[in-house]
Amino acid sequence: MTTNNQGVGTRELALIILLEIERGEKSHIVLRQVLEKYQYLSKQDRAFLTRLAEGTTERRIELDYIINQFSKVKTEKMKPVIRNILRCAVYQIKYMDQVPDSAACNEAVNLATRKGFKNLRGFVNGVLRNIARNIDKIAYPENTEEFLSIKYSMPQWIIRMWVRDYGEEKTKYILKGFYKERATTIRINGNATSKEELIRELTGEGIQVKEHPLLASALLISGYDYLAAIPAFREGKFQVQDAASIMVAEQAGIKEGDYILDVCAAPGGKALHAAQVLNGTGMVEARDLTEMKVELIRENISRMGFENIRAVQQDATCFDADSEEKADVLIADLPCSGLGVMRRKTDIKYKMTLQTEQELVSLQRNMLETVCQYVKVGGTLLYSTCTMDKMENEDNVTWFLKQHPQFELVKMQQIFPQKTYGDGFFLAKLQKKA
């Protein structure tokens, strides 16, 4: 579990990932790139690496709090390599019961040496041995806001916002939800297979499969190595898509023959679902801002084998006169703070700020002003985000309805992570009045 046959240890790979994240790279992308590069890693090593890299990132605030109680040099003053070696080791000591404390300490010391910090071996060893001896005696702040921030490694401004919007108990419920282990949610491509056939095929591959308790079109899978190794995935028999995201097409009221416009579609899950619901009729136009994102949609279209869907590069903030009043259903899953997907994108909470969030609200309103013009009379506008923030969600809907009285609210719901065994999500269904 420590060194593969190429001489690069899983802990060293975790360190590489953490340093890239600190430099500003996105956690889920860096992890995926490393796993793709080191495909010869065993399933056990891949699982260990994923857990260590994601867990250390997810628990960063708490890990720094613990380290700072036992180190004269505070984490923010440390060299990035040493800071992340210590974080990794403390995560193993506190959260990975299968790793002996002595192994976590020794491997950290060895890694510091390998990375050119032989002179800091004693410092790393001393801090970690002291933490290992006292890990069950860590004192946390008594102030509720500070306590929740450290205990769940959530920036205080987010805690403050959620306590204001949802109350203290609901905030605790949300925070706990991010740390519950969850299987991967997949949506069955009913055009290519049946639920029974897909369950049989995946089970035959040694994958654990459960039916989703809320969605007939979804399954929960776990115990697989990586997606590209699953034949059913390569053959387009299923799409990885969160339960809350699946609800968009299910609640849109799509009818055969409809023209569907998805204005921020990448990687294309909702658009592909809409194409499936159309059952070979109508057309879905899946748009996104960059050629890279559009190419990602095209790859998924090709894998799933649908013909009633096309991917187009288009900026959602720029009015497209050719689309005016053309869409029976317009899906506007707009750029947002992403606070509902922190379980999968573990670094989002450290990059987001209140100012950035306010800038996103402005962008969302700009986009809604533009794309609402594409909805037919009698048509549907589905506004959604993958966040839990009233400014981006309920407040935006209230603002939009004041600006556009020709639309009426049909349904609005804030979905919390535990509810769907997946992400936090917001959905508002609006109809353009005749």
CA distance 108 to 431: 58
Report the DSSP beta bridge partners of residue 430.
381, 409
pLDDT number for residue 182 = 81
pLDDT surpassing 80 at residue 179: yes
Q: How many residues does the chain have?
A: 434
Report the DSSP beta bridge partners of residue 331.
262, 382
pLDDT band at 6 (very low <50, low <70, confident <90, very high): very low
Using one digit for the tens of pLDDT, what is the confidence trace for 103-128?
999 999 999 999 999 999 999 999 99
pLDDT surpassing 60 at residue 202: yes
**Residue 95 near residue 60 (C-beta atoms within 8 A):** no
CA distance 209 to 373: 43
Cα dist. 305→196, 198, 201, 237 in Å? 20, 17, 19, 9
In the Cβ-directed half-sphere of 357, how many Cα atoms lie within 13 Å? 22
Mean pLDDT, range 257-274, rounded to an integer: 96
What 3-state DSSP class applies to 385?
strand
pLDDT surpassing 50 at residue 3: no
Using one digit for the tens of pLDDT, what is the confidence trace for 335-376?
999 999 998 899 999 999 999 999 999 999 999 999 999 999
pLDDT number for residue 1 = 39
Residue 25, amino acid: E
pLDDT band at 180 (very low <50, low <70, confident <90, very high): confident
CA distance 210 to 216: 11
Is the sign of the CA dihedral 162, 168, 174, 176 positive or negative? Answer: positive
